[in-house]
Amino acid sequence: MMETIAILFIFFILISLGFIFYTKVAKQSLESKVEENQDLSAIQVQQIASSLPELQCSEQNIVKENCIDLLKAFAAPDVLSEPEYFNLLGYARVTLEEVYPETFPIVLYSHQLPNAKDKRDSFFPIAIFEPASATTAFGVLHIEVYS
């Protein structure tokens, strides 16, 4: 009888250790999926923001890829504050930062989540075209996605 109780005791200890191991692995897997989804959300916001006709560079109705018109960027905060853009961009902050030859930021869109638990920052290189002087500068599109 004592041997049976000892075997059952060891069996339940092994089962509980396996359950603890399984829950830790499942928790880590879930956390990595959440991080991956946040990264994908940042990339999605970047793609939407850079492909908005309100920001894109174009010459003779030909759209340039990964390029933002500087004059349109200065007008963007007023335009992108409309409610329909929240459906596209969600809780995010999109900032255009010119890096070369000058350095200055322009906040294009800002709709922050109150009491946000997490914020994911992403940076994407982009060309900034100034149509008045027909020059192109190097910039970074800074995306902050809140969750």
Residue 27 has pLDDT above 90, yes or no: yes
Residue 21: what pLDDT? 94
Domains of the chain, by residue range, sit at: 2-146
Residue 2: what pLDDT? 85
pLDDT tens digits, 55-88: 888 888 888 888 999 888 888 888 888 888 888 8
Residue 49 has pLDDT above 90, yes or no: no
Tokens of 101: 């030859």
In angstroms, the CA 34 to CA 28 distance is 10
Buried-state track 43-75, b at ≥16 Cβ within 10 A, e below 16: ebbbebbbebeebbbeeeeeeeeebbbbebbee
pLDDT (average), residues 7-33: 93
Residue 24: what pLDDT? 95
In angstroms, the CA 92 to CA 111 distance is 6
pLDDT tens digits, 80-139: 888 888 888 888 999 999 998 888 899 999 888 888 888 888 888 999 998 888 888 999
Residue 76: what pLDDT? 87
Can you name the residues that pair with 131 across neighbouring β-strands? Answer: none
Tokens of 84: 């329909």
Residue 89 in contact with residue 52, Cβ under 8 Å?
no
